[in-house]
Amino acid sequence: MSIKVLIVDDSALVRQVLREILSAQAGIEVVGAAADPIYARDLIKRLNPDVISLDIEMPRMDGLEFLGRLMRLRPMPVVMVSSLTERGSEVTLRALELGAVDYIAKPRMDIERGLAAHGDELGDKIRAAASARLRRTALAVPASHTADAILPAIADPITSTEKLLILGASTGGTEALREVLVRMPADAPAILVAQHMPPGFTQTFARRLDSMCGIHVKEAEHGERVLPGHCYIAPGHSHLLLARSGANYTVELNAGLPVNRHRPSVDALFRSAANCAGGNAVGAILTGMGKDGAAGLLEMRNRGAHTIAQDEASCVVFGMPREAIALNAAAEVAPLEEIAGRMLSRFARGAQRAIRL
């Protein structure tokens, strides 16, 4: 049975281009298109689509307001169509917090050719959204909790860059990473993250996480030293690799060819961690479609690192963790809310008490 898609965008050109792109994708049927959320509301009732593609800036009702109402009253998979601007990235991240499954970046110039170049990617995202697990509300840590209150400081705090936490994610990963990182105490080992995200979005994503976390979160810069209490997000234009300079770990950015169709690639990060850190690292693969990261996580495990895969029940899309588990790359499988604690416990000296949230 085909996946029924409703397109919601105020641009007639974008509606036409998206209709042509999606209609050419196997297993996808465009059942309707709306120029604004008010009309879209009527079409949803009449056409009962499986997935909605949703623009942000539209007449009569803002896309975010419509998304918020939709997720409260009739939750369904939504893929945002967002412009490649700083405002576009801010609003898109807010949409993901509200419950959107994924997004596609709308180019600022030559929209028709730019969207057409990402036709297969859009088709994959629509298919993944159709089978995604929806959240009625964004994952959140109670406002009264600080990161240090959620997870106790490590009994013998680790201040050496010899210990590293390595994370990879894709679809659903922005919220999953937030759930993991807000639980990290200020004295956590250094953290490196590869999240599938285009240029222009990763810096905004890092700033947003930094405002929420007890650790310092930033977009990674080439050549900088990797420090404890810091999290380095792969920029959207480059692979993030772990390197060494003498006794110190450093960041290496590589703008080479995509790996598994992605740049940044989770496999690229995991393989560099396997080579540079071995058993001094813990790797975790989170929600996402495809198989990027599975082979790299296996390399980490084979080099002595402890490895974790997010469990199916807590994933938005179980693709990447499933592939890692199938390869026997994960030493353990855990629900999202336990991953921060399990990663930290590998380096704790002394017993950690159980945490009740």
Select which of 82, 83, 170, 272 is catalytic.
170
User: Does pTM top 0.85 for this prediction?
Assistant: yes
Q: What is the pLDDT of residues 12-41, one digit of tens each?
A: 999 999 999 999 999 999 999 999 999 999
Tokens 């109670």 found at: 142
Select which of 292, 306, 311, 314 is catalytic.
292
pLDDT of amino acid 156: 43
170 is catalytic: yes
- Helix-helix angle 173-181:86-98, to 10 degrees: 80
Choose between 182 and 152: higher pLDDT: 182
Q: How far apart, in whole angstroms, are the C-alpha atoms of residue 7 and residue 18?
A: 8
Mind giving me the DSSP string for 266-299?
HHHHHHHHHHHTGGGEEEEE-S-SSSTTHHHHHH
Confidence of residue 159 (pLDDT cuts 50, 70, 90): very low
Q: What is the pLDDT of residues 252-264, one digit of tens each?
A: 999 999 999 999 9
pLDDT of amino acid 355: 36
Longest dimension (CA), the chain: 65
pLDDT of amino acid 257: 96
pLDDT of amino acid 115: 84
pLDDT of amino acid 84: 61
Q: What is the pLDDT of residues 218-239, one digit of tens each?
A: 999 999 999 999 999 999 999 9
pLDDT of amino acid 135: 67
| CA distances from residue 348 to 156, 180, 274 in whole angstroms, order as listed | 7, 17, 21
Residue 312 has pLDDT above 90, yes or no: yes
Q: How far apart, in whole angstroms, are the C-alpha atoms of residue 142 and residue 26?
A: 43
Residue 158 has pLDDT above 70, yes or no: no
Residue 52 has pLDDT above 60, yes or no: yes
Pairing of strands 230-233, 190-195: parallel
Q: What is the mean pLDDT of residues 181-193?
A: 97
Paired residues of 193 in beta bridges: 167, 233
Select which of 9, 55, 196, 230 is catalytic.
196
The residue type of 229 is: G
Candidate ranges 80-84, 151-155, 159-163, 240-244; pick with highest mean pLDDT: 240-244
pLDDT of amino acid 321: 98
Q: What is the pLDDT of residues 274-311, one digit of tens each?
A: 999 999 999 999 999 999 999 999 999 999 999 999 99
Q: What are the tokens at 203?
A: 């810096």
Q: What are the tokens at 40?
A: 């879209």
Nearest to 6 by CA among 62, 54, 70: 54
Q: What are the tokens at 143?
A: 């406002």
pLDDT of amino acid 112: 81
Residue 353 has pLDDT above 90, yes or no: no
Confidence of residue 43 (pLDDT cuts 50, 70, 90): very high
Q: What is the pLDDT of residues 104-133, one digit of tens each?
A: 887 777 878 888 888 898 999 999 999 999
196 is catalytic: yes
Q: CB of 52 within 8 A of CB of 5?
A: yes
Q: Please give the distance of CA 188 from its chain centroid, rounded to a whole number.
A: 21
pLDDT of amino acid 252: 97
pLDDT of amino acid 309: 98
> 3-state class of 194 per DSSP?
strand
